[in-house]
A and B are shown apart, each in its own frame.
Chain A
Amino acid sequence: MEFEVIEKGSTEGIAGNLCICDDLVVCNIKIFAICPCVEGGYCTNYCECH
C-alpha cells in the first residue's frame, strides 16, 4: 500500500501560504501566464517560470 506525496500543495488559507498574488496572471490562452510568485515569494504553487 503506497501513498507518497510528491508535491504538497498549500491551500490552508493565507497563513498556509496559499497563492493569492495573481496580479500578473492574465488569460493564459491569449498571453503567457507570468508567474504570480514574482512579488510576494510566498506562493507554494509549482510554477516553472522562475
Chain B
Amino acid sequence: MTIIEAFSWMNIRFLLDGLLVTVEVALLSIVFSFIIGAILGLLRYMKIPVFSKIIGAIVDLIRNLPLLLIIFFTYFALPQIGIRFDIFWSAVAALTIFESAMLSEIIRAGLNSVPSGQMEAGRSTGLSYLQTLWFILIPQAFKAMVPPIVSQLISLIKDTSLATIISLPELTHNARIIYGQNTTYVIPMFIALAFFYFIICYALSKVAKRFETKLA
C-alpha cells in the first residue's frame, strides 16, 4: 500500500521536522510583527506631524507588495547592500516586515473606529493623551481589532509555506522533497500538508472565537 509506505515513520519524522520549523518561524514572526505592528499602528494614529505621514507611506508601500516578493528581496537582494540573514532569519524577517505592516493598518483602523468624542472625554477628565489612549481608547478598540488580527495571524501561518522558495526546510519544503523522490507519494503528501495546516489554523480560529465571545 502506497499510503502506508508514504507515511512510514521515516517520512513522518521528516514532515514533523518541517512542521517544527514552520511553527518556529510562525511564532517568532507573530511576536515580532505584533510588537512592531502595534508600535507603527499607534504612531500612525497619534498623527505626529511629518513622522506619522512617513511611517504611513512606508507601511502603505509594504502592505501593497506581494509577500513572495518581500521574501525574495530579503534573501537575495538585501545582501547586495550588506544586510544578510541566513535562510531561517530571512524568512522571519520577511514575514515580520510584511505582517507588521498589515497589522499596523488593522490597529490604526481599530483605533480610528472609536468615536473621537471618547478622546475628548478622556482628556477633559484630566487624563493625559497617552493615558487616554491606553486606558480609554485601546480597550474599546481592542474588541474590534481581535477578529481581523486573528485572521491576519492565520494568514501568517499559512504564508510561512511561501518560504519554501528560499529552501527553508519547513513543512511544505519537506513534503515536496518526499514526493520529489517518489511520485507515488504525491497524494499522501498533499493530504498530510492540508491536514497539518488545517489543524493549526482551524484550531487557532476556534480558540479566537472563544476568546471573542468571552470579550463580548
Bound pair (A, B): no
